[in-house]
């Protein structure tokens, strides 16, 4: 799929929902912008793997989930965490490693928040393939009606457990949705250096899993494609695989210039920036005015800023806190 | 009180725990049939959803166990051979070992990973190892290695009730060995060693099959006038340091015996710990009896030469006494 | 594919070649029969994972390889080892762990024989996926014209590295052929307990790899399907995937009764025993007489017996031999 | 003689070896760009076939290296973080470690697996570990962990020329550190430690970043009247026991310092070995300075508390002297 102003039929979505998803995307963009500014000012230790340009995928996917559903999210930006309901306060408490965070500040960048179904972000790519299978299997065994969404990047589709995971999901008809953001980059290399085929989703076919490819710049499209897969899973009809075509409109991480990316590609994709796409539709359909959008941005800035300020003002973990919590219960 | 084989003791422990806690599920390759018999028949009682045959996917078995555990179930996963721990090492050493910590305790991580360790079938380097040594260093794991049917039952029940990941090491040569298992339910706490024989000249610390060999060696040594105290570690992490140190305080000498390789073995950790905490009592350096630093060799002749034997334990004790 | 007397057009094959492949299959069957008899008499320590009924796959596949090609074989029978050219003497020297074996008796069941391209049999299923990728990559880098054949069972298609391997092979257009014997059993469970789909080969499609499904009971068919894939690899056109439909006409290993297998299935498949299929064709096409076939069997018995006797009569490895050879070169 | 960064020393070693032996190939994730810079630019000299970007597939990188090595090439594989050794543990600990032995030496197994270990970026449990301890127990591997640019160059060249699998542990905090690297080619043999500072009261054995901290601690201690001998192990397997034992024979006291966790750490093996071979000379138990038995914590504050520091090394020496 190419970027640019391709004429498309707009994917149906409730105006209110579109506005809410827009708000979430703005919040994500704001949080990452502020994060980046802090890094530029050398005020913060934690490198960012920002998801700029990909917000529609994370926000669209998670909009199809219930709060009780499980999500295995990625390192690429915080859209999924925001979409799943993790608050800015909790995110920043963890980022600053403060004991008030949901993981007592032990997670750091490895965000987890069990009250909203965020099971944990692993640092070794693909380590969570099988963990997600376990979570979905758990729901099947417990008949709790939950769906597990496994989110990953196209580069991670090369990792060991990928095929085994598709096989297990299909074998047991698990309520597991694969949401793959194909952002065309794997660190400093184009994905054609990593993946044998242009599309990854058709691999699902061979494992007996239905698949689709969705526009990752349009939050309504990402939402709709995921919803279809989630509904199928919820009906007990097993896994589905959705590939979102998108583009990492920035470097791999905050510490590198991304010099290997062609400026014209970046420009082309920025024309279809997911916030822009949503804004145009909100305006065109008369759902929101520019003024209302500015208010959304202001509110987002306030929300992020206050969460950052709070986290920053809290004390570092103590040695006692650091050393404890390896085991559940008391171990001598 | 019945004499039942080790596998039957494991089977009874799992069946009882599954009965009294429906969150307990068993998964692994061919667990319905039961490759070594420990899980055989469970599917008939608890059904295929709670006794789940998995595809051939060791990292998946461990990872699925983790996913099950953090979403409310209590998996007992089987990795057919201890050698395969290395196939699941990311899930074991990087993920389940750290999960409680990095999630700030939002979830317990109640996992048992059972496996069959050691030689016995002479089938070499990928089906005969004792691999526990490589898993001492990761945090957050417990490691258990029973030597009798009695302990297998009591320790497995404790492991299943534990809210932490437990590596449960069974030796394939023990599976068929019968032992007395009382009819009444009992638990053996993780982290408690057992003094199998009292003695005063030297302490021998062993686990799994090596306990039996240590006991045989100590009988032999008794005849030669050497009084050996034999301790069965039972749990390697956490180690029952109190029992071990009390014994060393008495004997002043320690021999560790393990089937695994010597370099970077469990004995190294124990030797270093005992030196650290009981240097004053040590009359001689801790002796480590272990396999040489080679792949487990193929074939009965080489395998027999490679695994620590009663004579090599006697030799180790003699060295400690020299 | 069902067993039974399905009418098929015979796959073309040189009569002499068919006779030679038949001879190899007889040798394999004989060796495994003698192995089993020794186990029944408790005269031998080494359990057998016999490939009875599957000989056409291993012999057919390997017939398409040159002596210099690399083969990653499986635990299931010795057809591939025989087909690749490992002698009975070398096989039994290794099985008995005698220092005259190609691996100095260190391999035991893990047969390797570098002079015929047998790189090594791993004990952990699927550990060799990536090793085979490495071997094929090596040939591509060294431009040595070799092809690597990766042989595996359908159960092993669930193992971690499967998908990654297909991706890497396709990505780099490696001279790598996947030969999968679908013998319908994974230890004590039917493969429908392991694999989500009836056929595995179509998975290759999603990775951009051509695939085919071949009759695993007909050595000519197995040979032809592999040859096509090997030729493609040799021409630099990349990997192919061939699935052979066959049946494990016996237990998983010598120590278990295989009670879970239905007698009627066994009977049905034995009607298409690969030796029988080949014999019928040899007779029908007038390539060999019953008498000549009996002679082949006798020669096979003599070859195996003498190799077993020789190996048996040799001494066990010494402690010195056992302890040495961990490192190449001297290490203190 | 130029002062060049550690990464440049590694880069020069690889470039020279690739130039003089066309069998040497480099592979790993983003090795063309060079994530930490060690492999940057090699692709421009040697082309994309000899400097191969791989998909994200750690077990594959290790396994492919093995396949390359046993078919005539000499791969230098990069696993981006030492934590990922666990993802490749079957290939490393079960396969490449045993390959020479189980094939009866039909092929050499010339592999270098380079990796970046340790903390420094405060990014926690999957990107900050020192994992070498888990790989002492498998047979057939060598383990190298240089502390200076000078050694990185000489040891990497030896590792590339070695016919055995070598785990080559680089610390991410060392990458940018410059050091003197002579213009003439030189090799440093694997298995030779370096005495970095002579002393008579206590021996400190360290490797990688801990050598620098040990030297700082020893300067501090010097002021306090304690004479510390600092040995840089450089190679952990095989360990230079001769140098270590000679030092301990002189000082009678040993402190091991490692960034990794204490339980089942490298220090345990060293402590046990020294006790075994030099019990008579030991005036005090071997002290192991190491990280606590917890996952590497996230965040700069916790990370700093967790990694052994100059004060904790001084504390360890004080304990050894007490
Ligand atoms: C097991 C493992 N290998 C390598 C890395 C380093 N790494 C972090 S992000 C990344 C690229 C991932 O690419 P993709 O899956 O496409 O996700 P994206 O970064 O594009 O969102 C890599 C290689 C890692 N974290 N874990
Ligand atoms: C990593 C690993 N897991 C499990 C086993 C035990 N095992 C040996 S053979 C086998 C079944 C293999 O099935 P398949 O791949 O279909 O080959 P087949 O035995 O049918 O020829 C299993 C599970 C093993 N050897 N290695
Ligand atoms: Mg990507
Ligand atoms: Mg099979």
For C209, nearest residue in chain A (alpha carbons): A196
Output the pLDDT for position C4: 40
By CB atoms closer than 10 A (0-12, 13-18, 19+), residue C202 is middle
Domain interval for residue A178: 19-323
Mean pLDDT of B150-157: 98
Find residues 182-241 of chain C whose CB sits inside 8 Å of chain A.
Answer: 194-197, 202-208
Percent of chain C with pLDDT over 90: 95
Instruction: For residues D51 and D42, give the distance between their C-alpha atoms in angstroms, rounded to a whole number.
Output: 7
D215 interfaces chain C, CB cutoff of 8 Å: no
Q: Are B268 and D263 inside 8 Å of each other by CB?
A: no
Output the pLDDT for position C7: 52
Is it the case that residue A331 has pLDDT exceeding 60? no
Mean pLDDT of B127-155: 98
Identify the domain boundary among D181, D214, D237.
D181
B109 interfaces chain A, CB cutoff of 8 Å: yes
Instruction: For residues B242 and B229, give the distance between their C-alpha atoms in angstroms, rounded to a whole number.
Output: 15
Is it the case that residue A4 has pLDDT exceeding 70? no
Distance C125 CA to ligand 2 centre (A): 6
Q: What is the DSSP string of D287-307?
A: EEEEE-SSPPPBSHHHHHHHS
Mean pLDDT of A48-62: 98
Spell out the residues 6+ positions from residue C128 whose beta carbon is closer than 8 angstroms to its own.
Answer: C72, C120, C121, C122, C150, D63
Q: How far C103 CA sits from the closest chain D CA (Å)?
A: 4
Taking all residues of chain C, what is their mean pLDDT, rounded to a whole number? 96
Residues D117 and D227 in one domain: no
Mutate to test the pocket of ligand 1, among A187, A188, A193 (most ligand atoms within 8 A of CB): A187
What CA–CA distances, in Å, run from D307 to D32, D169, D229? 32, 17, 22
Q: How far D236 CA sits from the closest chain C CA (Å)?
A: 13
Q: What CATH number has the domain bearing residue A230?
A: 3.40.50.970
- Asked if residue D118 is part of any domain, the answer here is yes
Q: Are B286 and D275 inside 8 Å of each other by CB?
A: yes
Identify the domain boundary among B148, B181, B214.
B181
- Asked if residue B25 is part of any domain, the answer here is yes
Spell out the residues 6+ positions from residue C158 whose beta carbon is closer than 8 angstroms to its own.
Answer: A164, A167, A168, B55, B56, B57, C194, C195
- Asked if residue B96 is part of any domain, the answer here is yes
Output the pLDDT for position A3: 43
Give B123's DSSP letter. B
By CB atoms closer than 10 A (0-12, 13-18, 19+), residue D183 is exposed
Count structural domains, chain A. 1
Structure tokens at C264: 């009627």
Helix, strand, coil share of chain D (percent; to 5): 40, 20, 40
- Asked if residue C193 is part of any domain, the answer here is yes
Query: For B257-296, how does the pLDDT look when each residue is reduced to its tens digit (9 = 90+)?
Result: 999 999 999 999 999 999 999 999 999 999 999 999 999 9
pLDDT-derived band at C9, boundaries 50, 70, 90: confident
Pairing of strands D178-181, D2-5: antiparallel
Instruction: For residues D55 and D66, give the distance between their C-alpha atoms in angstroms, rounded to a whole number.
Output: 17
Residues of chain B in contact with residue D267, where contact means CB-CB under 8 angstroms, are 272
Question: How many Cα atoms within 13 Å fall on the side-chain side of residue B55?
Answer: 33
Question: How many Cα atoms within 13 Å fall on the side-chain side of residue B217?
Answer: 28
Domain interval for residue B285: 194-321
What CA–CA distances, in Å, run from D209 to B60, C144, D159, D194? 35, 43, 20, 14
Is it the case that residue C6 has pLDDT exceeding 80? no
Query: For D52-68, how does the pLDDT look when each residue is reduced to its tens digit (9 = 90+)?
Result: 999 999 999 999 999 99
Is it the case that residue C188 has pLDDT exceeding 80? yes
Q: What CATH number has the domain bearing residue B300?
A: 3.40.50.920
Is it the case that residue A258 has pLDDT exceeding 60? yes
Residues B214 and B239 in one domain: yes
Q: Contact B32/B48 with Cβ under 8 angstroms? A: yes
Instruction: For residues B161 and B255, give the distance between their C-alpha atoms in angstroms, rounded to a whole number.
Output: 32
What CA–CA distances, in Å, run from C179 to C72, C200, C239, C244? 10, 11, 11, 7
Percent of chain C with pLDDT over 70: 97
Structure tokens at B194: 């057992």
Instruction: For residues D18 and D232, give the distance between their C-alpha atoms in angstroms, rounded to a whole number.
Output: 28
Query: For A283-311, how does the pLDDT look when each residue is reduced to its tens digit (9 = 90+)?
Result: 999 999 999 999 999 999 999 999 999 99
Residues B19 and B162 in one domain: yes
Q: What CATH number has the domain bearing residue D124?
A: 3.40.50.970
- Asked if residue C14 is part of any domain, the answer here is no
Let me know how long chain C is. Answer: 332
Distance B64 CA to ligand 4 centre (A): 23
Find the range with the poorest average confidence among A2-6, A253-257, D127-131, D206-210. Answer: A2-6
Instruction: For residues C150 and C178, give the distance between their C-alpha atoms in angstroms, rounded to a whole number.
Output: 5
Residues B131 and B176 in one domain: yes
Q: Contact D237/D141 with Cβ under 8 angstroms? A: yes
Count structural domains, chain D. 2
pTM: predicted TM-score of the whole model, two decimal places = 0.98
pLDDT-derived band at A125, boundaries 50, 70, 90: very high
Residues of chain C in contact with residue D99, where contact means CB-CB under 8 angstroms, are 120
Q: How far D300 CA sits from the closest chain A CA (Å)?
A: 7
Q: Which among A158, A170, A202 has the least Cβ separation from residue C167?
A: A158
Q: Contact B308/B258 with Cβ under 8 angstroms? A: yes
Residues B268 and B311 in one domain: yes
Residues of chain B in contact with residue A135, where contact means CB-CB under 8 angstroms, are 67-68, 70-71
Chains that touch C (3 or more CB pairs under 8 A): A, B, D
For atom 10 of ligand 2, which residue has the closest CA? C187
Pairing of strands B235-237, B142-144: antiparallel
- Asked if residue C11 is part of any domain, the answer here is no
- Asked if residue C194 is part of any domain, the answer here is yes
Percent of chain B with pLDDT over 90: 99
Output the pLDDT for position C255: 87
Q: What is the DSSP string of B215-282?
A: HHHHHHHHHTT--EEEEE--EEETT-HHHHHHHHHHHS-EEEEEEEESTT-HHHHHHHHHHHHHGGG-
Structure tokens at D166: 């070598």
- Asked if residue C13 is part of any domain, the answer here is no
Q: How far C305 CA sits from the closest chain D CA (Å)?
A: 25
Instruction: For residues C213 and B195, give the distance between their C-alpha atoms in angstroms, rounded to a whole number.
Output: 61
Pairs across A and B, CB distance < 8 A: 147
Q: Contact B132/B160 with Cβ under 8 angstroms? A: no
Pairs across C and D, CB distance < 8 A: 148
Is it the case that residue B139 has pLDDT exceeding 50? yes
- Asked if residue C222 is part of any domain, the answer here is yes
D105 interfaces chain C, CB cutoff of 8 Å: yes
Q: Are B109 and A328 inside 8 Å of each other by CB?
A: yes
What crossing angle do the helices spanning A219-234 and A15-40 adopt, rounded to 10°?
A: 110
B33 interfaces chain D, CB cutoff of 8 Å: no
Instruction: For residues A151 and A180, give the distance between their C-alpha atoms in angstroms, rounded to a whole number.
Output: 6
- Asked if residue C1 is part of any domain, the answer here is no
Structure tokens at C152: 């595996």
Q: Contact A220/A13 with Cβ under 8 angstroms? A: yes
Residues of chain D in contact with residue B261, where contact means CB-CB under 8 angstroms, are 137-139
Q: Are C120 and D104 inside 8 Å of each other by CB?
A: no
| Ligand number nearest to the C-alpha of A125 | 1
Q: The tokens 């020789």 sit on which residue?
A: C310
Query: Tens place of pLDDT for every residue, chain D, 322 residues?
Result: 779 999 999 999 999 999 999 999 999 999 999 999 999 999 999 999 999 999 999 999 999 999 999 999 999 999 999 999 999 999 999 999 999 999 999 999 999 999 999 999 999 999 999 999 999 999 999 999 999 999 999 999 999 999 999 999 999 999 999 999 999 999 999 999 999 999 999 999 999 999 999 999 999 999 999 999 999 999 999 999 999 999 999 999 999 999 999 999 999 999 999 999 999 999 999 999 999 999 999 999 999 999 999 999 999 999 999 9
Q: Are C329 and D91 inside 8 Å of each other by CB?
A: no
Identify the domain boundary among D181, D210, D245.
D181
Q: The tokens 């047991």 sit on which residue?
A: A172
Is it the case that residue A1 has pLDDT exceeding 50? no
Q: The tokens 């010097």 sit on which residue?
A: D222
Q: Which atom of ligand 2 is nearest to the CA of C186?
A: 13
Other Cβ atoms closer than 10 A to B72:
16
C124 lines ligand 2 (CB under 6 A): yes
- Asked if residue D140 is part of any domain, the answer here is yes
Other Cβ atoms closer than 10 A to A46:
20
Mean pLDDT of A48-65: 98
Q: How far B183 CA sits from the closest chain D CA (Å)?
A: 38
The torsion angles phi and psi of D289, rounded to 5 degrees, stand at: -95, 125
Output the pLDDT for position A7: 52
Q: Are B62 and A130 inside 8 Å of each other by CB?
A: yes
Query: For C39-52, how does the pLDDT look when each residue is reduced to its tens digit (9 = 90+)?
Result: 999 999 999 999 99
Output the pLDDT for position C1: 39
Query: For C226-267, how does the pLDDT look when each residue is reduced to its tens digit (9 = 90+)?
Result: 999 999 999 999 999 999 999 999 999 998 999 999 999 999
D58 lines ligand 1 (CB under 6 A): yes
Q: The tokens 């699925």 sit on which residue?
A: B64
Mean pLDDT of C22-37: 98
Residues of chain C in contact with residue B30, where contact means CB-CB under 8 angstroms, are 187-189
- Asked if residue C6 is part of any domain, the answer here is no
Q: Are B295 and D97 inside 8 Å of each other by CB?
A: yes
What CA–CA distances, in Å, run from B144 to B112, B163, D123? 10, 15, 31
Residues D90 and D122 in one domain: yes
Residues D202 and D129 in one domain: no
Q: For the CA atoms of C220, C223, C225, C230, what is the dihedral angle to 10 degrees? A: -160
Structure tokens at D304: 């700093």
Output the pLDDT for position A52: 97
3-class DSSP state of D136: coil
Output the pLDDT for position A2: 44
Instruction: For residues C228 and C241, give the distance between their C-alpha atoms in angstroms, rounded to a whole number.
Output: 10
Residues of chain B in contact with residue C189, where contact means CB-CB under 8 angstroms, are 30, 32-33, 53
For D165, nearest residue in chain C (alpha carbons): C327
By CB atoms closer than 10 A (0-12, 13-18, 19+), residue A143 is exposed
Could you give the residue ranges of the DSSP H alpha helices within chain D?
A: 6-20, 42-46, 58-69, 89, 97-102, 149-161, 209-223, 241-251, 266-278, 300-306, 310-321
Q: Which among C107, C186, C319 has the least Cβ separation from residue B56?
A: C186
What is the greatest pairwise CA distance in chain D?
A: 58
Mean pLDDT of B196-207: 98
Q: The tokens 């789940």 sit on which residue?
A: B52
Whether the complex's predicted ipTM is more than 0.85 is answered with: yes
What is the greatest pairwise CA distance in chain C?
A: 66
Distance C260 CA to ligand 4 centre (A): 14
Taking all residues of chain A, what is their mean pLDDT, rounded to a whole number? 96
Q: Contact D164/D101 with Cβ under 8 angstroms? A: no
- Asked if residue B189 is part of any domain, the answer here is no
Strand order in the sheet with A148-153: A70-72, A148-153, A176-182, A240-245, A211-215
Q: Contact C214/C220 with Cβ under 8 angstroms? A: no
Is it the case that residue C61 has pLDDT exceeding 90? yes
Pairing of strands C176-182, B254-261: unpaired
Residues B163 and B42 in one domain: yes
Q: Are C196 and A158 inside 8 Å of each other by CB?
A: no
Instruction: For residues A230 and C332, give the distance between their C-alpha atoms in angstroms, rounded to a whole number.
Output: 60
Q: Which atom of ligand 2 is nearest to the CA of C182?
A: 16
Structure tokens at C90: 């070398």
Q: Contact C76/C49 with Cβ under 8 angstroms? A: yes
Q: Are A204 and C204 inside 8 Å of each other by CB?
A: no
């Amino acid at each position: 799929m190419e970027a640019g102003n391709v004429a498309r039929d707009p994917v149906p979505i409730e105006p209110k929902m579109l506005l809410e998803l827009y708000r979430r995307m703005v919040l994500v963009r704001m949080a990452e912008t502020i994060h980046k500014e802090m890094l530029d000012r050398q005020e913060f230790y934690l490198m960012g793997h920002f998801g700029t340009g990909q917000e529609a995928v994370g926000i669209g996917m998670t909009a199809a989930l219930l709060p009780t559903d499980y999500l295995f999210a990625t390192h690429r930006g915080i859209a999924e965490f925001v979409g799943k309901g993790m608050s800015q306060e909790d995110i920043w408490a963890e980022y600053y490693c403060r004991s008030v965070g949901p993981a007592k500040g032990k997670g750091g960048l490895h965000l987890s928040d069990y009250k909203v179904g965020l099971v944990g972000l692993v640092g070794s790519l693909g380590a969570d393939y099988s963990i997600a299978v376990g979570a979905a299997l758990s729901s099947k065994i417990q008949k709790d009606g939950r769906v597990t969404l496994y989110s990953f990047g196209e580069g991670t589709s090369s990792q060991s457990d990928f095929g085994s995971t598709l096989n297990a999901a299909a074998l047991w008809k698990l309520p597991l949705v694969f949401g793959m953001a194909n952002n065309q980059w794997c660190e400093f290399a184009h994905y054609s250096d990593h993946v044998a085929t242009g599309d990854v989703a058709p691999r699902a076919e061979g494992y007996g899993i239905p698949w689709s490819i969705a526009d990752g710049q349009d939050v309504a499209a990402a939402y709709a494609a995921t919803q279809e897969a989630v509904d199928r899973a919820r009906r007990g009809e097993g896994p589905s695989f959705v590939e979102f075509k998108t583009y990492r409109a920035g470097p791999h991480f905050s510490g590198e210039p991304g010099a290997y990316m062609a400026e014209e590609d970046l420009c082309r994709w920025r024309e279809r920036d997911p916030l822009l796409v949503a804004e145009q539709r909100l305006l065109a359909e008369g759902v929101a005015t520019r003024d209302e959008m500015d208010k959304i941005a202001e509110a987002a800035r306030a929300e992020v800023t206050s969460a950052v300020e709070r986290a920053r003002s809290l004390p570092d973990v103590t040695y006692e806190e650091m050393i404890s919590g390896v085991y559940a219960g008391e171990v001598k | 009180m019945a004499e039942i084989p080790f596998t039957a003791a494991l089977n009874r422990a799992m069946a009882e725990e599954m009965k009294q806690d429906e969150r307990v599920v068993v998964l692994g390759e061919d667990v319905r049939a039961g490759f070594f018999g420990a899980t055989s028949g469970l599917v008939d009682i608890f059904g295929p959803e709670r006794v789940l045959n998995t595809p051939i996917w060791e990292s998946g078995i461990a990872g699925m166990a983790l996913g099950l555990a953090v979403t409310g179930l209590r998996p007992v996963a089987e990795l057919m051979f201890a050698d395969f721990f290395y196939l699941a090492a990311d899930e074991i050493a990087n993920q389940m070992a750290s999960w409680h910590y990095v999630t700030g305790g939002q979830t317990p991580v109640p996992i048992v990973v059972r496996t069959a360790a050691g030689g016995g079938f002479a089938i070499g380097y990928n089906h005969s190892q004792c691999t526990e040594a490589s898993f001492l260093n990761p945090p957050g794991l417990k490691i258990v290695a029973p030597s009798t049917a009695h302990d297998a039952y009591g320790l497995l029940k404790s492991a299943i009730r534990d809210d932490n990941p437990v590596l449960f090491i069974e030796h394939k040569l023990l599976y068929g060995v019968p032992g007395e298992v009382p009819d009444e339910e009992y638990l053996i706490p993780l982290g408690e060693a057992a003094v199998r024989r009292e003695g005063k000249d030297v302490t021998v610390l062993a686990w799994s099959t090596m306990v039996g060999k240590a006991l045989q060696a100590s009988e032999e040594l008794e005849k030669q006038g050497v009084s050996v105290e034999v301790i069965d570690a039972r749990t390697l992490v956490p180690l029952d340091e109190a029992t071990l140190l009390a014994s060393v305080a008495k004997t002043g000498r320690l021999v560790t015996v393990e089937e695994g390789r010597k370099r970077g073995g469990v004995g190294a950790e124990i030797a270093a710990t005992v030196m650290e905490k009981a240097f004053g009592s040590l009359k001689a350096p801790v002796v480590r009896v272990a396999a040489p630093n080679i792949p487990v060799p193929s074939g009965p002749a080489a395998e027999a030469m490679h695994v620590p034997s009663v004579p090599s334990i006697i030799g180790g004790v003699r060295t400690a006494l020299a």
